[in-house]
Amino acid sequence: MQPSSRSSARLLLPFGSVALETLQPLMLVAAFQLGAALPVNGHNPINFCNGLLFGNAFSLLALAVVKKLSLRAFEGEPVWAWNSVPIGIVPIITGSLLEAALVISLSRLPAIQVTLAVALTSLLLLLVEKLCHRVWPSPVSVLGALLVVVASVIVSTNESSGAVQSMAAMGESLVPNTPFFNHLLLAGVLALSVLYFRASSPAIEKMGSLNFAILLTASQTFIFFIWATTTFGLTHIYDLRSPLLWHVMLIYGALISTAYTLVEATALITSGPLLVSMFEGLAPFFSGLFAWLLLRQPFTFSLLASSLLAALGIICIELVESRAEPVDPLQ
């Protein structure tokens, strides 16, 4: 890859990753609203169980097809080897638990709180990375991380949170819906996010982005299968007679979720976990944009202001980190 192409990929990949990441839940919300008008056996065929479970299952099938086709884009991938799996255990487990924790959080808490917890990831990653190499973060880098956090604070996304809440109250058997446990839940989101970003890059470099994506999606599918069946049982979630369910899962799972998993994995090794986490500051902007397009919600000035602040923070980090000597995350 030419230097100019690599430089463009460093920014385009995390940009695409956060865009696809925020599109996924809003696609489910839009499908939920559409499913309310097309009930099956008197109930909405789209709920969080079949959304997350079938979405991941369809994505896993699509990833297996990509692996089987041996596409040119993945020709340089490491050959599958079971001895490379142990290094992926931590990011795969933390990534799967993070997905579940985010879903539970959005079902019961204002999205602004969840967004802030995720935004703090970039600040903690910056501090951890510099401390591991015994250097002080530059003032410009710290300023950039703080701008991303501030961007998440000033934006209000309670409208989309309410839409997610209407899908179902979930996870109460796992994490009680009380103020104390909800604060623990947010702390868990932050801790899992830091662990996932920190551990994923070396794992993906050794395993390959496609192999890592397959194992991560398989783990998430298994977790959501256990969660869904123990929460609602088989008769409620496995209503495959709805054409809408099949259409949504093909678009949401096989297309959007698969693209997101691959783009994020590639971004983590191309751009690094710090830059990828910084782009999470643009999540409120994309949430507002997609909510405006899919759910006809207003696009507010605060969303635009927050996106500009987050972009400025990303620029600050990129200016400093791109000039720094590359470091091995395993050292």
Residue 157 pLDDT level (bands cut at 50, 70, 90):
very low
Mean pLDDT to the nearest integer, 230-252: 74
Residue 169 pLDDT level (bands cut at 50, 70, 90):
low
pLDDT digits over 35-83, tens only?
A: 878 887 777 777 766 777 888 888 999 888 888 786 665 666 666 666 6
pLDDT > 70 in the chain, percent: 77
pLDDT > 90 in the chain, percent: 6
Q: What is the pLDDT of residue 188?
A: 92
Residue 158 pLDDT level (bands cut at 50, 70, 90):
very low
Residue 66 exposure: Cα atoms within 13 Å on the Cβ side:
22
Nearest to 274 by CA among 69, 121, 81: 121
Which range, of 3-7, 88-92, 200-204, averages the lowest pLDDT?
A: 3-7
Q: Is the pLDDT of residue 300 over 80?
A: no
Nearest to 306 by CA among 161, 149, 158, 139: 149
Mean pLDDT to the nearest integer, 94-115: 79
- Amino acid identity for residue 214 in this structure: I
Residue 330 pLDDT level (bands cut at 50, 70, 90):
very low
pLDDT digits over 203-226, tens only?
A: 888 888 888 999 999 999 998 888
Mean pLDDT to the nearest integer, 152-176: 57
pTM above 0.85, yes or no: no
Cα–Cα distance list, 244 to 31, 58, 309 (Å): 8, 15, 39
On average, the pLDDT of the chain sits at 77
pLDDT digits over 18-37, tens only?
A: 889 888 877 877 887 788 78
Q: Is the pLDDT of residue 6 over 80?
A: no
The string of DSSP codes covering 248-303 is HHIIIIIIIIHHHHHHHHHHHHHT-HHHHHHGGGGHHHHHHHHHHHHS-----HHH
Q: Are 263 and 20 in contact (CB under 8 A)?
A: yes
How close are the terminal C-alpha atoms of the chain, in Å?
25
Q: Are 257 and 56 in contact (CB under 8 A)?
A: yes
Name the DSSP letter for residue 136. Answer: P
Range 183-206 burial, b when 16+ CB lie within 10 A, else e: eebbebbbbbbbbbbbbbbbbbbb
Q: Are 157 and 115 in contact (CB under 8 A)?
A: yes
The string of DSSP codes covering 75-131 is TTSPPP-GGGSGGGHHHHHHHHHHHHHHHHHHHHS-HHHHHHHHHHHHHHHHHHHHH
Mean pLDDT to the nearest integer, 288-307: 75
Q: Are 170 and 232 in contact (CB under 8 A)?
A: no
Q: Quick one: tokens of 294?
A: 């899919």
Q: Quick one: tokens of 209?
A: 């982005």
- Amino acid identity for residue 132 in this structure: C
Q: What is the pLDDT of residue 162?
A: 47
The number of residues making up the chain comes to: 331
Question: CA 304 from chain center: how many Å?
Answer: 21
Q: Quick one: tokens of 305?
A: 């202001």
CA distance linking residue 194 with residue 30, whole number of Å: 30
3 state SS of 46 = coil
